[in-house]
Amino acid sequence: MWNWAKVLNVCGFAGVVVCAGGGLAGAQESPKYQEPPAAIVQLVDAPPPPRVSVSPAGKSGEARRILIEQYSGLPPIADLAQPELRLAGLRFNPKTNGPSRGRYITSLKLQTLQDGKEMAVAGLPAQAKIRFVAWSPDGRKISVVNSSDASGDAGLSLWIVDAASAKAGRVAGVALNGVFGDPCEWMSDSARLICKTIPAGRGGAPVRSEVPDGPVVQQNLGRVTPGATYEDLLKNPTDQEIFDYYATSQVAVIGMDGTSVAIGKPGVIEEATASPDGRYALISAQHKPYSYLLPYEMFPLRVSVVEIKTGSVKELSDRALQDSVPNIHDAVFAGPREYQWRSDAPATVFWVEAGDGGDPRKEAAVRDTLYLLDAPFTGGARKLAELPIRFRSVTWSEKHTVLVEERRWKDRARVILAVSVGAPVKLFEGSFEDRYNDPGTAVSAMNGAGKPVAVTTPDGSGVFLRGEGASAEGDKPFVAVMNLANGSSKKIWESEKGYFEFPWDVIDAGPVKVLVRKESPTQSPNYYLWSAGQALQQVTAFPSPYGNATLPTKQVLKYKRADGVELSANLYLPAGYKKEDGPLPTLMEAYPTEFKTKASAGQITGSPYEFTVLYWGSPIPFVTQGYAVLENTSIPIIGEGNAEPNDTYVEQLVASAQAAIDEGARMGVVDRNRVAVMGHSYGAFMTVNLLAHSNLFKAGIARSGAYNRTLTPFGFQNEDRTYWQAPEVYYKMSPFMHADLIKTPLLLIHGEADNNSGTFPIQSERLFSALKGQGGTVRFVLLPLEAHGYAARESVMHMFWEMNSWLTTYVKNAGSASATATAGVAKP
């Protein structure tokens, strides 16, 4: 039996698994969950700020309210230990037939906008775990789906909140199926909901046998069927049976008294939504044959319209298994897709069909065609528009002008059209990379039928847009009105200087009223009403989620890379720090981004006036431990013209990191001999590449990354080329291939249940083995039950403990700026 206290002391800091060159190199340990220093715990444990949603306009005279939603903090590991099935790309709790992961709402409050009167919603179960909340079209009721109640009932229950009294009551006898997400939607009369329910008498779940019936066989007979690397897939016939059992729903119309009217037959129903006039249901259902290589989104899909009163069914399409879609940008399903109701008509179905078979590499004058089909769905479809660029989105309006957006990845093109009678009007054309010239996106609101529509001026001549307002001085969000006849745009509201204000919702189109979320580095987010010519009227008074804790302030650095590309980073320094104190050990965090132009790559993101809102993966808490933190450090990877960004990925990566360190050192705050680099996912991939190809860092922290690109051979991140088309790119970009060059101490962290495409835990496992075999200093921490993003409090706190221990040993105590070690730009 090892004496672990002695082992850890020999290794140099609490928690090291692999000692740097002793006989304990292969030692394993199973530590209990640890917590980082109290100052980090205080920041990370803070609850998220409340979120608000505004009631629909409803009927004339109805009071406008906001619903205040308080989300849970970090859940306990026991929540993640609840039963979970991982099938067909889904994760769900078989006990509840609902979500197994994610934060939930713990409490609700209602506040009247006119007088500020606030009431806590009463009548909900004790220790409620609310997943889905929705206003009724008339603004008088709110539907709530709860996954836990005081009686201990398993399953998802439906509750209705009366907005005037703030009292909630359960709709009896309703068992919801939330495997595919939100199970319910309000109908236009605000008296009924259309829901996916668990079929009555479905019996017991299939039992998995330990004795196989035979082998699992897959084959491909000459067809081109490329595919990304997915997780949580079906593996055998038993998986298919279990998936069918839990994913099968009965669509029903539910009344407030619990009456239920079945619509159509049970099926593996992904979506069910009522027409604006309430007469029909649009139902999308998966069916066999399933795939063991693809998630449910690509399974065969049947789309039908069902008349609610008679039950008559009109099949609109039956899509085959989509296993031949190219794994590249702008590739789509062949045949009809994107089915939805037209929001501004009683019962009209909208869909899109590709003119290029779904393959953007094919020449096509018409890339996508938009179609409409009116009730009773027996006639021919009519064309709404033909698009030369791939369809992106559609926004309906009550004035019968449709906003259509097109996008093309190759040159980052973005086009916005206004479609009504006659030829479409081009309102905007530019690059979706160009944040400085982004016109914004249409502001939507719920209409009387409960469907989203664009908010337009009272005369219908203009549409309200909301934008980030990116600029060289940082984001300055705005509200503008765009003329639907010619695309001219005029700002009617913009964030005040010295604050970060975001237009949360347009409350009234005339006279204009906007609900604004306002914050500053010292002022936590709160909501205000803005009216033209009037001062902001405060609506909420949420306290800082961090209590009396001293928060680090942000300084936006602007500097240049050696090739002239403009870069930026958010610098955080310890409270009370002065330059006379000397340069600090530094933690750099980044996530590389691809661009087509240097101009777009150099644009500033974010605002210096935002309140610091931390999340579980933030590097900012390390400021409390005496580090300078470079957060959101610019790492642009640019491929102008015919060049692909990744052709020079490594060179641009190192140059960007070098520039950030040089700027921090020039300012006198960064000790270039004590810098660590960290990243998550693609940022972890970046981290290990920087350690392999430069001598800039004393340590690295890589969380949940992919390090061997031959394991993602059909593309990764924004790389469209396959391994066989660009083997040299895959090889050079894979830090696993250069493990012999990595001599810098590396902390690897990965979630044991990673669900992200391509970042299988084996990526970290094999890199750890490679580095260990090369004599590297490396520690690998596998977090039980955690997915790609870490959720449980125990896991997150332990992660911070691991990171703090690693940084203390290999960065903070590695020697100061006067040390003889010299940080180099690139390895020979």
Active site annotation includes 738: no
Instruction: Determine the Cα–Cα distance for residues 36 and 50; give it in Å rounded to an integer.
Output: 26
Dihedral angle sign, alpha carbons of residues 817, 820, 821, 824: positive
Dihedral angle sign, alpha carbons of residues 772, 777, 783, 789: negative
Q: Which two tokens stand for residue 419?
A: 């479609």
Which one from 343, 754, 764, 798 is the annotated catalytic residue? 754
CB neighbours of 269 closer than 8 A, spacing ≥ 6? 180, 196, 248, 249, 251, 283, 284, 285
Q: Kind of pairing, strands 699-703 and 670-680? A: parallel
Instruction: Determine the Cα–Cα distance for residues 207 and 711; give it in Å rounded to an integer.
Output: 33
CB neighbours of 699 closer than 8 A, spacing ≥ 6? 676, 677, 744, 745, 746, 747, 806, 807, 810, 811, 814
Which one from 107, 153, 544, 788 is the annotated catalytic residue? 788
| CB-neighbour burial class of residue 132 (10 A; exposed 0-12, middle 13-18, buried 19+) | buried
Instruction: Determine the Cα–Cα distance for residues 611 and 733; give it in Å rounded to an integer.
Output: 36
SS3 content of the chain, % helix, strand, coil (to 5): 15, 35, 50
- Residue 663, strand partner residues: none
- Residue 787's nearest CA partner among 759, 754, 750, 748 is 754
Which one from 656, 681, 795, 805 is the annotated catalytic residue? 681
Residue 571 phi, psi dihedral angles, 5° rounding: -100, 125
Active site annotation includes 420: no
Instruction: Determine the Cα–Cα distance for residues 240 and 292; give it in Å rounded to an integer.
Output: 9
What is the rounded radius of gyration, in angstroms, for the C-alpha atoms of the chain? 28
CB neighbours of 587 closer than 8 A, spacing ≥ 6? 619, 622, 627, 628, 629, 630, 675, 676, 677, 678, 807, 811
Q: Which two tokens stand for residue 786?
A: 């955690």
| CB-neighbour burial class of residue 441 (10 A; exposed 0-12, middle 13-18, buried 19+) | middle
Active site annotation includes 754: yes
- Residue 329's nearest CA partner among 288, 284, 308, 360 is 360
8-state DSSP, 737: G
| C-beta separation of 145 from 132 below 8 A | yes
| C-beta separation of 739 from 763 below 8 A | no
- Residue 395's nearest CA partner among 444, 457, 447, 438 is 444
- Residue 376's nearest CA partner among 344, 349, 338 is 349
Q: Which residues are catalytic?
A: 681, 754, 788
